[in-house]
């Protein structure tokens, strides 16, 4: 197999029988990964694609492509994806990242823009028209404000690469901000990941407790505020 294309089903947080016809892997809202109806080999290069006998997930790009989808985004509105009742859960996105990393290893697929990409990147990056598919021109973690699918894809690829153990997650450009209780956003999520917490991007009491414990362990001032010294100790300085 040559690549993996990432999708959302535009359904609820549990996959349906219909979804299983169209994707090789489905990740539900609880982070469970289910196999689709068709084996990955049904989309292998050199195989004849007969309707109903392979996973048809990406127009003009099914041969050689593994389709992985999160069951989510039922009735989502493009202009406000986070308002969707079936917005992907953090555990679901993490499970997708882990499953894609596993598939990359199993099929020796490199993690780059042309080989691990979201459906929304296919038209931009590979030039194959996809009729306005927007999975994912939004950050499925609900943190990044960007609607640029390649930027979102780069973030997911960093996470997939990290899951493979090849590289560490990339720090954002520019100095890391000072974050403390009440802070929100990607820097908070990065600190949470480094601390082994669920990365919801919201610096609440549990994050503060974990920061203080980390600071004590590393003989830093245990003030619960992540500044330059604490970022450095988390190996996220730049």
Residues that bind Zn ion (CB under 5 A): 7, 119, 135
7 vs 157 by CB, closer to Zn ion? 7
Q: 67 with 119: CB under 8 angstroms?
A: no
- The CB-of-118 to Zn ion minimum distance in angstroms stands at 8
- The CB-of-7 to Zn ion minimum distance in angstroms stands at 3
- The answer for residues whose C-beta is within 8 angstroms of residue 182's C-beta and 6 or more apart is 203
What is the phi/psi pair of residue 14, to 5°?
-115, 135
- The CB-of-181 to Zn ion minimum distance in angstroms stands at 38
Q: 153 with 113: CB under 8 angstroms?
A: yes
43 vs 215 by CB, closer to Zn ion? 43
CB count, 10 Å around CB of 111?
Answer: 22
End-to-end Cα separation, the chain, in angstroms: 37
- The CB-of-190 to Zn ion minimum distance in angstroms stands at 28
73 vs 189 by CB, closer to Zn ion? 73
11 vs 224 by CB, closer to Zn ion? 11
54 vs 203 by CB, closer to Zn ion? 54
Please give the DSSP secondary-structure letter assigned to residue 233.
Answer: H
DSSP 2-68: -EEEEEE-SB-SS--HHHHHH-SEEE-TTS-EEE-SS-GGGG-TT----TTSS---STT--TTEEEE
For residue 97, give Cα distances in angstroms to 27, 111, 161, 221.
10, 12, 9, 35
138 vs 231 by CB, closer to Zn ion? 138
Q: 99 with 68: CB under 8 angstroms?
A: yes
20 vs 119 by CB, closer to Zn ion? 119
- The CB-of-152 to Zn ion minimum distance in angstroms stands at 14
- The CB-of-161 to Zn ion minimum distance in angstroms stands at 22
Please give the DSSP secondary-structure letter assigned to residue 200.
Answer: -
- The CB-of-202 to Zn ion minimum distance in angstroms stands at 29
């Amino acid at each position: 197999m040559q690549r993996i294309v990432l999708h959302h089903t535009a359904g609820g947080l549990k996959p349906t029988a219909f979804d299983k016809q169209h994707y090789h892997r489905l990740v539900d809202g609880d982070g469970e990964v289910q196999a689709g109806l068709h084996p990955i080999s049904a989309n292998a290069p050199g195989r004849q694609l007969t309707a109903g006998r392979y996973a048809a997930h990406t127009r003009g790009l099914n041969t050689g492509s593994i389709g992985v989808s999160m069951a989510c985004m039922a009735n989502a509105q493009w202009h406000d994806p986070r308002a969707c009742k079936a917005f992907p859960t953090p555990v679901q996105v993490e499970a997708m990242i882990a499953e894609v990393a596993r598939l990359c290893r199993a099929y020796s697929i490199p993690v780059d823009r042309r080989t691990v990409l979201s459906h929304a990147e296919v038209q931009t990056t590979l030039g194959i028209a996809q009729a306005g598919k927007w999975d994912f021109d939004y950050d499925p973690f609900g943190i990044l404000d960007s609607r640029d699918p390649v930027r979102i894809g780069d973030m997911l690829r960093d996470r997939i690469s990290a899951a493979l153990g090849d590289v560490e997650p990339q720090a954002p450009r520019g100095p890391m901000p000072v974050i403390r209780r009440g802070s929100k956003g990607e820097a908070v999520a990065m600190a949470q990941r480094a601390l082994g917490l669920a990365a919801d991007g919201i610096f609440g009491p549990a994050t503060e407790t974990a920061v203080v414990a980390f600071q004590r362990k590393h003989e830093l001032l245990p003030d619960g505020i992540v500044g330059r010294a604490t970022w450095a100790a988390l190996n996220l300085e730049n």
